Amino acid sequence: MSSPQAIPSAARPLSAGAIALMLMLCLTWAFNQIAVKLVLPEIPPMVQATIRSIGALPVIFIIGTLRGVRFFERDGTWKAGLIAGLMFGIEFVLIYQGLRFTPASRAVVFLYTAPFFVALGAYQVLGERLSGTQWLGLAVSFAGVALAIGVPQPDVDAKVLLGDLMIVGGAALWAATTLVAKSSRLRFVAPEKALGYQVATSIPILGFAAWLFGETIPHTPSPQSIGLVAFQAIWVVGTTFTLWFALVKAYSASKLSAFTFITPLFGVVGSYFIMHDTLSLTFGAAALLVIAGLFLVNRPGQTAAAPSDALLNVTKT
């Protein structure tokens, strides 16, 4: 069996297992957005994000300990981990606060400008050069997301534009965090440790933001809200974010990031079934655009045969 290091991650084609994992991650992240909205009437956003990080940290530690990860080993990664953590925390502050000013439909479109930032950064930092066809695929996928959500919208004022800018800032930080994990010494450590840096650093940042904005929990949350926050902490942050960083270490950051375009489409469907939002025929056309864009981004080029267990091998330390 070939060593995963024998094939550069930028050239390694996405395996069927990696694609299946990305689809599961996108579905989870789409429902996470719905979960946050359902909890907002009882737990404000910054408090909710703080609780999520606090709850996720022991989950990450337990999973990593069971896998033999040495969290406190001196390996020269603390600087990169701190930088990634600062960006991770500020990212969520910008996104949640941006949602105060801009509609969610606009926010989700601007949030998924992240693949463009990843592609630009990957070219500059990682040497992952996308072809013209792949850039076209990114543009087609983003057009599909915009069509599905229904932008542009009327009545856009200065506050909405400010919210848009904050969401784009969050998207840029999301991309930057991915690139730091890919280009720094963090790529040599287990995903649990890389994520642990970010979640631990985000706790004081999010907690300070909650205090700064005067957020409080007015009454004891319902069992549903508690359950949804636990879902966010244990599954979304503690588990799926770990899987995401494992994939980032094993495969092309730009190609993986392109798959995140599917998330808002899943979100639209989830909103229809859970929050009873209206679905239009436009959604079908939008889905086709996203799928076509992903096909263009992931067209095989100069690739070598990748081992089927590349993800498992890369995540072991």
Is residue 25 a part of any domain in this protein? yes
Per-residue model confidence as pLDDT tens digits over 70-104? 999 988 899 999 999 999 999 999 988 887 788 77
Per-residue pLDDT at 9 exceeds 90: no
Residue 8 counted as domain residue: no
Q: What is the pLDDT of residues 135-186, one digit of tens each?
A: 888 888 888 877 877 766 666 778 888 888 898 899 899 889 988 887 888 8
The DSSP 8-state label assigned to residue 72 in this structure reads T
Residue whose C-alpha is closest to residue 287's, from 175, 186, 141: 141
Residues of the chain above pLDDT 70, percent: 84
Lowest mean pLDDT across 28-32, 56-60, 134-138, 283-287:
283-287
Residue 94 lies in a domain: yes
DSSP assignment letter at 238: I
Domain span holding position 50? 16-298
Secondary structure (DSSP) of 90-158: HHHHHHHHHTTTS-HHHHHHHHTTHHHHHHHHIIIII--PPPHHHHHHHHHHHHHHHHHHT-S-S---H
- Of 152-161, 230-239, 275-284, 305-314, the range with the lowest mean pLDDT is 305-314
Separation of alpha carbons 123 and 309, rounded Å: 27
Task: Give the pTM.
Answer: 0.76
Position 1 in a domain: no
CA dihedral 35, 40, 44, 48 (to 10 degrees): -10
Q: Which amino acid is at 123?
A: Y
Query: 60 lies in a domain?
Result: yes
Phi-psi sector, 217: left (phi>0), alpha (psi -120 to 50), beta: beta
Confidence of residue 302 (pLDDT cuts 50, 70, 90): very low
Residue at 4 is within a domain: no
How many separate domains does the chain show? 1
Average pLDDT for residues 238-249, to the nearest whole number? 85
Residue 127, in any domain of the structure? yes
From the list 275, 227, 190, the residue with the least C-alpha distance to 51 is: 227
Whether residue 251 lies inside any domain: the answer is yes
- Cβ atoms of 107 and 99 closer than 8 Å: yes
What pLDDT does residue 313 have? 30
Q: How do residues 52-76 score in pLDDT, each as one tens digit? A: 999 999 999 999 999 899 999 988 8
Residue 293's nearest CA partner among 119, 123, 124 is 119
Residues 115-133 have a mean pLDDT of 74
